[in-house]
Amino acid sequence: MTEAPPRLTSLAHGGGCGCKLAPSILQELLAEKTEPSLFRQLLVGTETGDDAAVWQIDDTTCVIATTDFFMPMVDDPYDFGRIAAANALSDVYAMGGQPIMALAILGMPLDKLPTQIMREILKGGRDICATAGIPVAGGHSIDAPEPIYGLAVIGTCRPADVRRNSRARPGDALILTKALGVGIYSAAIKKQALSPGGYQEMIASTTLLNRIGSELSKDPNVHAMTDVTGFGLLGHALEMARGSACALVISDQEVPVFAQASSLAEQGFFTGASRRNWASYSEAVRLHEGMPEWRRDLLTDPQTSGGLLIACERRSAAALAETIVVSGYPSAKVIGCVERGRAAVAIEE
């Protein structure tokens, strides 16, 4: 009898965007930055923690480049490949671009996993890229102690369509396009405590492409965008606040979450990244009085292939949110606003 291969999540010390370095460590690593003025065509680099690099080729075309990879947060190899690919493509969409091709990044423990599982991971990534209308045109693979998969993605857009995380304006409204809870669900998966319905809810969200970003970038009422991933909603909102030199105010009751996320968080299902995130940026976040710790864990929960956080003209926000819902993002909601003040995030009831 052939022995069954180990669960993918059992081979990884972390999973999904919960593998990301804590924001405080990343800031330390990027403390020495290249002077942007040395490269005049580099429109977006590392200066504001944006989602991808943007290089202007000429008056009509910019190239967007990004890479994203991580360890599995689900056991199904095909689903792992799909989630990782959708997550990597999201960076291009969040900048307002359209992906044109991808390269695969693969690291696998060859002594622990059969090649069929690796083929399923790669197939999942190819299928998501096919949905996006692009090829996986190559890549690189290594023998690694833990399973790793992701993509390097190239995209394009017009210079006028570039949307940064640092262009929010006082008076703007904030829209979130997907519900929170991916990290909490993945923690439950590790302990085999997530229901089949919960798993399908998570897969539906994490494999849903953020392609709406490339459409929103053409709307002059949309000022800033970023995708919510490993630093959680609070962390990526704080990056927007700091880059824009504004205060972001979020209504706790308006934040969409997965159907089982609150109950699982109350039971103690959370990732280590959630607590690392809070330790990294808590000094710049004000929570409303009486917020329980489990609810805070939801707001710092690392999202893998999470939604877009959008800053737009307040008068257009309701109609824009409805357009996003109709476009296939049923959880999209207006969750807050941008105000003048110190670069920080406040959570109100």
Among all residues, which ones are annotated catalytic?
Answer: 17
116 exposure class (CB count in 10 Å sphere: 0-12, 13-18, 19+): exposed
For the chain, report the end-to-end CA distance as a whole number of angstroms.
57
**Interatomic CA distance for residues 127 and 134, integer angstroms:** 10
Alpha-carbon separation of residue 16 from 123, 126, 132, 193 (angstroms) = 18, 18, 21, 18
For the chain, the residue count is 349
What residues contact residue 315 under an 8 Å CB cut-off, 6+ apart? none
In degrees and rounded to multiples of 5, residue 180 shows phi and psi of: -90, 160
CB contact set of 185 (below 8 Å; sequence gap of 6+) = 194, 198, 199, 201, 202, 258, 260, 261, 264
Burial grade of 33 (CB within 10 A; 0-12, 13-18, 19 or more): exposed
